[in-house]
Chain A
Amino acid sequence: EDKVVQSPLSLVVHEGDTVTLNCSYEVTNFRSLLWYKQEKKAPTFLFMLTSSGIEKKSGRLSSILDKKELFSILNITATQTGDSAVYLCAATRVYDKIIFGKGTRLHILP
């Protein structure tokens, strides 16, 4: 059965800290790994990863995929209160069935 597991499920840090969110997956016919940020409404897209070892960056956020060990990490440096959200990881299969993890709830204290 396909599954995506995220850890930790929740995390509280102080503003300025660096955080690492984890995502492991077991998906047949894996194609790509996606990261989303969800605040009050719909998830917003952060990264799509298809190749191992190639880091993607956007400002203070970065992510990398390891297709051999079947996991990905999302790093956020110099965290700000606006980074408080639920971060979702999802794995896509060749035929575009997309499986989400339960999410990591991140809370940044001022």
Chain B
Amino acid sequence: NAGVTQTPKFRVLKTGQSMTLLCAQDMNHEYMYWYRQDPGMGLRLIHYSVGEGTTAKGEVPDGYNVSRLKKQNFLLGLESAAPSQTSVYFCASLTGGQPQHFGDGTRLSIL
């Protein structure tokens, strides 16, 4: 039972490049989340999903898109990466009334 798996773990991009971060969970959780964590800022919610085929904006959605085509996967896309998107990205999932399970994070650097 892998829990929440994020790929890749590290990535370096140039400004303007695009990429997709993948989050996969094998716990049949309904809810999935993408956060970014910057020094001194805690975890800020980018987008979240309350079920397959649905997504919603969080606190800092600009510059990101998401998709939840399958229940177990939640994809985070950067269409045109900017240095301000350099961060550690965490994915999490949960089932109703329970605490979140987090992935190990993706460290993304935009040059």
Contact = CB atoms under 8 A, between A and B. Distances in A.
Contacts of A95: 50
A100 B94 contact: no
Interface residues on A, range: 20 to 34
A61 B76 CA distance: 35
A27 interface: no
B41 A102 contact: yes
Interface in B23-69: 31, 33, 35, 40-45, 48, 50, 56, 58-59
Contacts of B58: 97
A1 to B, nearest CB: 9
A95 to B, nearest CB: 7
Contacts of B48: 96-98
Contacts of B98: 48
Interface string A95-107: 1111111110000
B55 to A, nearest CB: 12
